[in-house]
């Protein structure tokens, strides 16, 4: 740790640069867990380095994705729990990257805070590293910015950036999709990281007992349920891509079914889904009941229990489900059928 660099004037203005050095030292052991191709010794340098191995690629394409955690962070502040939001940050980026058929290679994070509490920053980065391990991605760098007067002292924002790689011939091409293809749902772990402005309003979280057990949630508290980190689908989906022609992948984020599913379906086609087939999680039933929210608004805001969808040939459905099951997605199931339609998603 740098023990010579210290500015009393900067500290008087609210920025403790020594706290930044301490945070970097605390996070190094977590970052080391994500390293696949290199070492974490140089963490804290000016740029993140990554050795690109192209021997298995004929025409490699880099795919990038960036996102944050959004107002779900307000729940982390209220619960004083900061070790899982980093998983959300990684998930929101790498789950987008995999929709192109790309394998996430490396990740960078950005934390902006009102005051740098090294132990809190360590917990945030631990979550980021947990997410990177789940995604098989390296955390090669990041930034922690202490911004007094811009953020409250106990609050922060968190964003990330992922880069993946795919051969041009293996980029997911939705134009190969045809009538009769089948959509498979991969279950979500909960609300994930979208719709929290509405969630916070529905439950009035700032004035609620977030630690009280809730019967509708199986005895789990509301705060615990809402902070459940976003599921990362990278590894099971990559396994499917090795053996099955996948014609479309949707990451179900803000905008729910109606906004996200059509993005992976070509013009002239749509997906027909029976509402009874959707395995809606208890938290979404509680949100709808508590907030008196219309069904269409629920499906147009939340993932409703479906975190990602894959479209495959009808003949490949069982093989796809078997591969997913072998790789930790035993709950995957058929949710819909591709039909001729200009309506995108037909929920009936």
Whole-angstrom distance, CA of residue 209 vs CA of residue 12: 37
- Note whether 94 and 104 are within 8 A (CB): yes
Residue 100 has pLDDT above 80, yes or no: yes
3-state secondary structure of 19: helix
Whole-angstrom distance, CA of residue 325 vs CA of residue 329: 5
**The predicted structure's pLDDT at residue 26:** 77
3-state secondary structure of 297: helix
Q: Residue 23 — very low, low, confident or very high, per pLDDT cuts 50/70/90? A: confident
Confidence (pTM): 0.93
Q: Residue 18 — very low, low, confident or very high, per pLDDT cuts 50/70/90? A: confident
**The predicted structure's pLDDT at residue 37:** 67
Whole-angstrom distance, CA of residue 126 vs CA of residue 303: 26
Residue 248 CA, distance from chain mean position? 18
- Beta strands at 269-273 and 345-347: parallel, antiparallel or unpaired: parallel
Whole-angstrom distance, CA of residue 3 vs CA of residue 212: 45
State which H helix or E strand residue 306 sits in. Answer: strand 306-312
- Ranges of H-type helices in the chain: 8-12, 17-32, 73-79, 85-98, 118-135, 196-203, 222-226, 234-243, 256-260, 282-291, 295-299, 317-326
**The predicted structure's pLDDT at residue 29:** 87
Go through 19-51 and write b for each residue having 16 or more CB atoms within 10 A of its CB, e for each that does not.
bbbbbbebbeebbeebbeeeebeebbeeebeee
Residue 181 has pLDDT above 70, yes or no: yes
**The predicted structure's pLDDT at residue 269:** 98
Residue 21 has pLDDT above 80, yes or no: no
- Region 299-326: mean pLDDT is 98
Long-range contact set of residues 173-179: C-beta below 8 Å, sequence gap at least 24: 173/247, 174/247, 174/248, 174/264, 174/265, 174/266, 174/311, 175/266, 176/245, 176/247, 177/247, 177/248, 177/265, 177/266, 177/269, 177/311, 177/338, 178/269, 178/338, 179/269, 179/338, 179/339, 179/340
State which H helix or E strand residue 312 sits in. Answer: strand 306-312
**The predicted structure's pLDDT at residue 16:** 66
Residue 293 has pLDDT above 70, yes or no: yes
3-state secondary structure of 314: helix
| Residue 50: both structure tokens together | 């990554």
Residue 4 has pLDDT above 80, yes or no: no
Q: Residue 70 — very low, low, confident or very high, per pLDDT cuts 50/70/90? A: very high
**The predicted structure's pLDDT at residue 10:** 55
Q: How buried is 178 (Cβ within 10 angstroms: 0-12 exposed, 13-18 middle, 19+ buried)?
A: middle
What does R_g of the chain's alpha carbons equal in angstroms? Answer: 21
Residue 41 has pLDDT above 60, yes or no: no
Residue 323 has pLDDT above 70, yes or no: yes
- Dihedrals phi, psi of 339, to nearest 5 degrees: -130, 165
């Amino acid at each position: 740790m740098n023990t010579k660099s210290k500015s009393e004037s900067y500290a008087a203005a609210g920025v403790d640069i020594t706290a930044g050095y301490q945070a970097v030292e605390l996070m190094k052991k977590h970052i080391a867990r994500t390293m696949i191709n290199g070492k974490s010794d140089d963490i804290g340098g000016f740029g993140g380095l990554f050795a690109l191995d192209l021997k298995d690629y004929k025409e490699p394409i880099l795919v990038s994705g960036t996102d944050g955690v959004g107002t779900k962070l307000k729940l982390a502040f209220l619960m004083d729990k900061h070790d899982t939001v980093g998983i959300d940050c990684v998930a929101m980026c790498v789950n987008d990257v995999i929709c192109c058929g790309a394998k996430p290679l490396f990740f960078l994070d950005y934390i902006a805070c009102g005051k740098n509490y090294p132990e809190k920053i360590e917990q945030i980065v631990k979550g980021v590293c947990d997410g990177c391990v789940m995604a098989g991605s390296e955390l090669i760098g990041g930034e922690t910015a202490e911004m007094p007067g811009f953020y409250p002292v106990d609050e922060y924002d968190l964003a990330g950036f992922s880069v993946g790689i795919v051969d041009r011939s293996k980029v997911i091409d939705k134009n190969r999709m045809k009538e009769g293809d089948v959509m498979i749902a991969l279950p979500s772990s909960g609300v994930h990281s979208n719709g929290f402005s509405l969630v916070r309003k529905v439950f009035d979280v700032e004035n609620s007992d977030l630690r009280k057990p809730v019967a509708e949630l199986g005895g789990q508290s509301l705060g615990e349920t809402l902070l459940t980190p976003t599921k990362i689908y990278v590894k099971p989906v990559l396994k499917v891509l090795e053996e099955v022609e996948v014609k479309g992948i949707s990451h179900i984020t803000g905008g729910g079914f109606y906004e996200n599913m059509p993005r992976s379906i070509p013009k002239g086609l749509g997906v027909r889904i029976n509402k009874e087939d959707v395995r809606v999680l208890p938290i979404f039933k509680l949100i709808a009941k508590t907030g008196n929210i219309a069904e269409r608004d629920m499906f147009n805001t939340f993932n409703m229990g479906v975190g990602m969808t894959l479209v495959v040939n009808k003949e490949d459905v069982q093989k796809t489900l078997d591969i997913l099951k072998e790789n930790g997605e035993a709950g995957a199931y058929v949710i819909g059928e591709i039909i001729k339609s200009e309506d995108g998603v037909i929920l009936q």
